[in-house]
Each structure stands twice: as C-alpha cells, then as structure tokens.
Amino acid sequence: MARGLRDIKRQIKSVQSTKQITKAMEMVAAAKLRRAQEKATASRPYADKLKEVVFSIASSSSDIKHPMFEKRPVHKTGYLVITSDRGLAGGYNANILKKVMVTIAERHQSKDEYELFVIGRKGREYFRRRDLPVVEELTDLSDTPVFADIKSIAYAAVQRFEQGHIDELHICYNRFINALTQIPEAEQLLPMETVNTNSVTASYEYEPSASAVLEVLLPKYAETLIFSALLDGKASELGSKMTAMGSATKNATKIIGELQLTYNRARQAAITQEISEIVAGADSQS
C-alpha cells in the first residue's frame, strides 16, 4: 500500500510539472499573439492599397499585357503552403495539410501535375515522408517575421509562374479570425483576377509608362500577398497554440484533482487497515 501511495504521489508531481510548462507556454503564446495579430491586421490596408494602385494602372489601358494576368491552359500548378516549425499548436498544421492534400487529390492525377513551395518544418517533413515534389522550402522563421525572411521563396514562386514553369500558383494558409478560430484556405494567387474597372476609385499619374510600372509593381504585389498570408498564418499558429496549451493546462488540473482524490482514498484505506490491525492485535492479547 505504501508503494502504491508513493506511485500516486509521483504521478501528481509529474502532472504538476507538466501543468507548469503548459501554463507558461500558454502565457508566452498569448503575449506573442497580440503582436502577431497587430502585424497581420496592419498588413491588410497596405495590400489593399497596392491592389488598388495596380488595378488602376492596369485598367487605364486596354492593351496592357503582363504574364501575371495571363490565363493559360493549366498543365502544372504550384502550391505555396504555410505551416509552423514546431508542434504543440493543436490542429493548426493538421488542418492546413489536410486541406492541401484534399485539393491535390481533387485536381491532380499524378505528381507531375504540381509542385510545392513549403514554409515551415512541419510541412516540409510531412511532404518529404510522402515523397511529394517540394521545389523550395523555408524553415526556422521567427514568431515576428519580416518581409526579408520570406522574399527568396516568394520571389521563386512568382518567377516560376512568370517563366511558365507553372500555370497557376495557389497559396495555402490558415486565415486568422480569432484565437479560437482559424480557417484553412487555398486561394489562387496567380494568374491574378481580371481587372474590374468599376472597382477602381482613383486615378494615378505614373512614369515612364503603365507597362513599365506594372512590370515592377505586380511581382511586389504578389510577394506582398504571400507575406500577408504568412502574418495571418503566424497569428493563427499562436492562437492555436495558446488554445491548445490552455486546454492542456485545464486537463492537467483535472487529472491532478482525480489523482489527489485517489491518493486520499488510498491513504484513508491504509490508515483504516492499520487501525483494524491494531485493534485486532489488542483483542488477541486481552
């Protein structure tokens, strides 16, 4: 019985240590989430304004042509997938990877029909285990990334489309709604949507020509959308991690309570048994 009590006490201490870790991770994720959410929110007006400028210039002349607006027969599709480098983030990685695999299964018959650009160690390892065609990868991003961190992979993905290696580029990420809700998305990035002249609300003066300006702006616009999706993904990751660690802390508290109850009952049974033995011993001597 004494051994059983020691084992229960050891379990309680073990779960208490785990609870301290999960609680600390929850608090760290909560602190980082606020900053990540602010960055994700702040990036959207910039992307929206850049889109307005690009479409305003593109709509100014009907003879403007650029590869990013060109719709061609789809022989090969690129997917830029945003995941995390670390786990303990609930369903964050599982949800987006499932979305990607369902999309691939619905659209493609063989591995020759698509290629993957992967951000995050979890995504890279997932696709490598399945021997899927990863052409570019990026890992070890901080929780507060800057554009320079992802410029190389964003540039590579956009260039693959411009050079005709892929005919579509989709970006797959978790859209941040709030700390409890993140929605896996698979959105077409390239070719860009047809310019709607009715949606243009301002006109701009530019030099030297509309085509020359678009030649510079369009790749930057695509890269900006990728960075904005990454910021959404980071906020989603931290929100999912905070929620997961909060649930783990609550579960640990529940387990500790159950173990403590088991320990008290076992201790009470041991004391009762000892009293019974003492009484039985006293009766035998009388």
Asked whether residue 42 carries a pLDDT value surpassing 60, the answer given is: yes
pLDDT tens-digit readout, 122-178: 999 999 999 999 999 999 999 889 999 999 999 999 999 989 999 999 999 999 988
pLDDT of residue 236: 95
45-242, superfamily in CATH?
ATP synthase, F1 complex, gamma subunit (3.40.1380.10)
Q: What share of the chain is helix, strand, coil (3-state, %, to 5)?
A: 65, 15, 20
Nearest to 118 by CA among 97, 102, 103: 97
Instruction: List the structure tokens of 259.
Output: 């173990």
- The full length of the chain comes to 286
Q: Letter for the amino acid at 163?
A: Q
CA gap 32, 30 in Å, rounded: 6
pLDDT of residue 267: 85
pLDDT, tens digit, 9 for 90 and up, residues 92-113 = 999 999 999 999 999 999 999 9
Listed in sequence order, the residues at least 6 apart from 229 whose beta carbon sits closer than 8 Å to its beta carbon are 82, 171, 173
Distance CA(203)–CA(196), nearest Å, equals 14
Please compute the mean of the pLDDT values over residues 181-188 and round it to a whole number: 93
pLDDT of residue 158: 92
- pTM of the full structure: 0.85
Over 60: is that where the pLDDT of 1 sits? no
Q: How far apart are CA 212 and CA 229, in angstroms?
A: 27
pLDDT of residue 120: 96
What is the average per-residue pLDDT within 22-43?
Answer: 92
pLDDT number for residue 179: 85
What is the distance, to the nearest Å, from the Cα of residue 68 to the centroid of all Cα atoms in its chain?
27
The fraction of the chain above a pLDDT of 90, given in percent, is 58
Name which residue leads in pLDDT, 159 or 275. 159
Indicate the range of 60-64, 206-210, 220-224, 267-271 predicted with least confidence: 60-64
- Torsions phi, psi of 267, nearest 5? -65, -40
- Lowest-confidence segment of 5-9, 143-147, 194-198, 202-206 by average pLDDT: 194-198
The band of 268, judged by pLDDT with boundaries at 50, 70 and 90, is confident
Query: pLDDT tens for residues 213-255?
Result: 788 888 888 899 999 999 999 999 999 999 999 999 999 999 9
Whether pLDDT at 114 is above 70: yes
